[in-house]
Amino acid sequence: MVFKLLKYKWEKTTIIVMAIVTAVVLILAFLVNLYWSPILAFEVKEIVFKSSDSLYTADFSSAELHVLRGTIVIFNITLKPDTAVYNRRKREHLAPNNLVELHVKRLTLSHIHPFKLYFQKKLDIGEIVLNEPVLNITYQLNHTSDTSLKPGRTMWQKISKNLNSIHIGNILLGDVKLSYKDYSGNKLVLSELKELNLSARDLLIDPTTQTDKSRVLFCKEIIAELNNYSGKTANGLYYYKISSLKLSTLTSKLNIEGLTLKPVDTGLFFNKSRHDRFSMHIDSMQVNNFDYVNYHKYRILNASGLLINNGTIEVFCNPKHLYNGADQVSSFPNAAIYKINDNMNIGSIILNHINVVYSEYNAKSKQTGSVTFNNTKGRFLNVTNNKTALQKNNACTAEITSYFMNRGKLNVKFNFNLTDENKAFSYKGRLGPLKLQYINPVVMPLAMVKITSGNIDAFDFDIYADRTSARGNVSALYNNLKISLLKVDTVFDNLKQRPIATLYANLFIVKHNNPDIPGGLPRSIYVNYSRTPETPFFKSVWQTLLSGIKPCIGLDKKAQDAAIAVQNELAANKQNRKIKKEQRLQRRAERHKKREEEKSDAPPVE
């Protein structure tokens, strides 16, 4: 029928030739597929075995070559380490820190040229897609640097007998299930990731890239993306969550969105821990020039900078009655830095729009006072515990600008000695104009004092401190200061005014202005504060400044002793009046009783 429709001979000839060519191509594709599969299996296994120096073996159940589509599909791939080889290398101090095991149900290689591989020994693949990969990584610190390993052949040198080059355009791994076991610490740390996507582009192994340090695993760029990662810390006291994380080896940037650290219930936390209780939420973080390779291999954290944008950090001071005798010096920044990472070197940390809240419970008032630092911006330089970096510079400096109680502008400069055994540090700063009533949320619960009026023009401090003490100068310029002394109201469970003590304090103790007269010389207080071992960093700074504020406004030890003496005298007088009143009531009751007895003993009237 078809031939009847064709009018010309050349049309019939063309159809016949095309049919013959198509049949030949199909037959050749079928034969190549049968012939190529065992060759492919051998080549893959041989390349993996030689490139890993016999540490890894690869296998798969079957492979399909589709010549016309230019694709290869490989099923049930496994990449496993040889434990005998690994243990032998450990004894020789040549074992890698990371051991990998991979399982893939299906791997698709697209845009390939099998004849180019067969005749030119060049493996050129456009794209590789791995479906449902399961990746298990085990980390153990077998060596701390590449210098501990003997120099060996490059990857290209290992494969050069079988291949002249390997090039892959894109590698895609979606929905990776990753299990990570870390044996580097005293306790096994297990992490499991589910919503993980990995991609790589421009993988090239040839003579030109065998020593190219700009590539990671011979790839121009590797991108890792993790979504909705959550878990619990090893001690069980905190929950953490990351909305999204993205790492690019090309830009050397690590971006984190939605980082949250949330502690367990307050009662449970303080029953199990002697440390301050933290909570944190950060909108975004960016690590610049992040050296992923060294972190992956040796847990060395190197970065030029860390940018933190928008967030809240809350610290709740551990109540004193839970103190177990351990020195809380570990809460000092120049001590805590050694607990974050064994080897860390960050050039700078930049803070933008961070709110900090410090809270403390007063057992006497049975209330919690909180001091806030709002819209905080800061810059920390030389954040490191790296021994080599510390030999060059052992000082971490910080310049911070914030708004105290969301009102007065505060500028502070810190200087932390990172190598001093006593954890020495210093801080200097100024608080700008502020209405003193705004600090009542912290002074009422903690100092049991209410500020009824007053304005501060400037509050300056210059303190040098360490784990044992703090010394320096504190000066506050203020006017029209009036206070109200408080006590606990046991009936209504709150604080109420002590009128007589308040009157006495405002008349005889409180210095209402500094300087006392306009144009006079302002008071400056020298502080010598002794830190107790149970006092953490934030509390020690607050108590140091408070020990200078009190005498500046007239509440020095002598004045406080006088106030206490007056309070004791008032209390004694009140007690005496109470006793005398009780004695009068008792005498009145006795007289009444005596009259009743006399009436009952009298003879009846006839």
**Can you give the pLDDT at residue 366?**
83
Say what the pTM is. 0.80
Does residue 58 contact residue 50 with C-beta atoms inside 8 Å? no
Q: Regarding predicted confidence, which is higher, 31 or 408?
A: 408
Single-letter code of the amino acid located at 274: R
Rounded Cα distance, 374 and 604, in Å: 87
Taking residue 351's Cβ as centre, other Cβ atoms within 10 Å add up to 23
Taking residue 327's Cβ as centre, other Cβ atoms within 10 Å add up to 14
Within 13 Å, how many C-alpha atoms sit on residue 305's CB side? 8
Residue 556 clears pLDDT 70, i.e. is over it = no
CB-based burial, 557-567: b 16+ in 10 Å, e otherwise? eebeeebeebb
What confidence category does residue 360 fall into, taking pLDDT thresholds of 50, 70 and 90? Answer: confident
Concatenate the DSSP letters of all residues of 251-287 into one string.
TTEEEEEEEEEEE--HHHHHHH--SPEEEEEEEEEEE
Helices assigned H by DSSP within 485-536: 499-504
**In this structure, what token pair is assigned to residue 275?**
């440390």
Q: What is the mean pLDDT of residues 254-278?
A: 88
**Can you give the pLDDT at residue 57?**
83
Question: Pick from 163, 70, 167: which is nearest to 125 by CA?
Answer: 167
Strand-pairing partners, residue 528, are 471
Does residue 298 contact residue 144 with C-beta atoms inside 8 Å? yes
pLDDT digits (tens, 9 = 90+) for 157-188: 877 877 788 888 998 988 888 888 888 777 77
Segment among 263-277, 428-442, 468-482, 512-526 with least mean pLDDT? 263-277
pLDDT digits (tens, 9 = 90+) for 434-446: 999 998 998 888 8
Segment among 238-242, 315-319, 452-456 with least mean pLDDT? 315-319
Residues 6 or more apart whose Cβ sits within 8 Å of residue 350: 305, 306, 307, 308, 378, 379
Does residue 165 contact residue 66 with C-beta atoms inside 8 Å? no
Single-letter code of the amino acid located at 210: Q
What confidence category does residue 317 fall into, taking pLDDT thresholds of 50, 70 and 90? Answer: confident
pLDDT digits (tens, 9 = 90+) for 91-124: 888 888 888 888 888 888 888 776 777 778 888 8
Q: What is the mean pLDDT of residues 471-490?
A: 87
Question: Pick from 592, 578, 566: which is nearest to 508 by CA?
Answer: 566
Q: Is 203 exposed, middle or buried (0-12, 13-18, 19+ CB in 10 A)?
A: buried
- Domain ranges for the chain, please list them: 2-36, 45-466
What confidence category does residue 378 fall into, taking pLDDT thresholds of 50, 70 and 90? Answer: very high
For tokens 């500028």, name the residue. 411
Coil vs helix vs strand at 273 = coil
Average pLDDT score, the chain = 82
Does residue 442 contact residue 419 with C-beta atoms inside 8 Å? no
pLDDT digits (tens, 9 = 90+) for 24-79: 444 444 444 555 555 555 666 776 667 777 888 888 887 777 766 677 788 888 88
pLDDT digits (tens, 9 = 90+) for 129-153: 888 888 888 888 877 766 545 556 7
**Can you give the pLDDT at residue 420?**
94
Q: Regarding predicted confidence, which is higher, 41 or 282?
A: 282
pLDDT digits (tens, 9 = 90+) for 483-528: 888 887 665 567 777 777 777 777 778 889 999 888 888 989 999 9
Q: Is the peptide bond between 515 and the residue preceding it cis, with omega within 30 degrees of 0? A: yes
pLDDT digits (tens, 9 = 90+) for 563-579: 666 666 766 777 777 77
